[in-house]
């Protein structure tokens, strides 16, 4: 998991100044040059989840049941999106918005975690099959032959280069 911009100790000290020393959000935000809403968010997470609420939680994968539970609590009106993010310890409200969009678009399948990054094995790749069983046009035949000839020439050039490399006297 990546590093947070602010350390856990820094967040904890900010929350302590607000909750224990009764420093206002606005005063602390101006003093440290931070966003007031971020400080408020840290305080809410700390009040509900303790120190664990201040730890970085991005790039976390949530299962489908959890996502459905969050969406149902919002739909029934128990929580707003912001409240649900704090209650369920979700780092960004945008995650919930994305879940809502995906659920509306694809149903429960939209909530499945999608694989990230490039596929591990590309050997399964097969050339696209033709869409119809109609015979090839003359132009398509010529294009295929042209592709085969280019591949053959590339192999022959590589072979020639290898033969020349072997014949070259070692110096």
Higher per-residue confidence, 142 vs 126:
142
Q: Identify the band that residue 90 occupies on the pLDDT scale cut at 50, 70 and 90.
A: confident
Task: Look at residue 8 and tell me whether its pLDDT is greater than 90.
Answer: no
Task: Look at residue 171 and tell me whether its pLDDT is greater than 60.
Answer: no
The pLDDT score that the predictor gives to residue 1 is 42
- What's the whole-model pTM score? 0.52
Nearest CA to 39 out of 26, 22, 53, 58 is that of: 26
Question: Do 91 and 60 contact (CB within 8 A), yes or no?
Answer: yes
What are the extents of the domains in the chain? 1-56, 59-114
**CATH class of the domain whose range is 1-56:** mainly alpha
State how far the Cα of 99 lies from the Cα of 75, in Å rounded to an integer: 13
State how far the Cα of 142 lies from the Cα of 134, in Å rounded to an integer: 16
Task: Look at residue 46 and tell me whether its pLDDT is greater than 80.
Answer: yes
Token digits of residue 1: 């998991």
The average pLDDT across 106-134 equals 73
State how far the Cα of 142 lies from the Cα of 123, in Å rounded to an integer: 28
Task: Look at residue 2 and tell me whether its pLDDT is greater than 60.
Answer: no
């Amino acid at each position: 998991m990546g590093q947070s911009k602010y350390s856990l100790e820094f967040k904890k000290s900010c929350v302590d100044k607000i909750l224990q020393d009764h420093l206002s959000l606005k005063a602390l935000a101006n003093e440290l040059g931070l966003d007031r809403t971020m400080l408020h968010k840290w305080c809410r997470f700390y009040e509900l989840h303790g120190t664990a609420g201040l730890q970085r939680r991005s790039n976390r994968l949530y299962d489908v049941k959890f996502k459905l539970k969050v969406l149902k609590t919002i739909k029934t009106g128990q929580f707003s999106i912001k409240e649900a993010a704090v209650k369920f310890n979700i780092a960004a409200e945008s995650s919930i918005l994305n879940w809502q969009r995906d659920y509306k678009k694809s149903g429960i399948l939209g909530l499945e975690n999608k694989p990230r990054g490039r596929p591990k094995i590309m050997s399964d790749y097969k050339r696209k099959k033709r869409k119809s069983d109609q015979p090839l046009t003359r132009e398509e035949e010529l294009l295929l032959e042209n592709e085969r000839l280019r591949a053959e020439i590339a192999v022959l050039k590589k072979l020639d280069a290898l033969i020349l490399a072997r014949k070259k006297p070692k110096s």
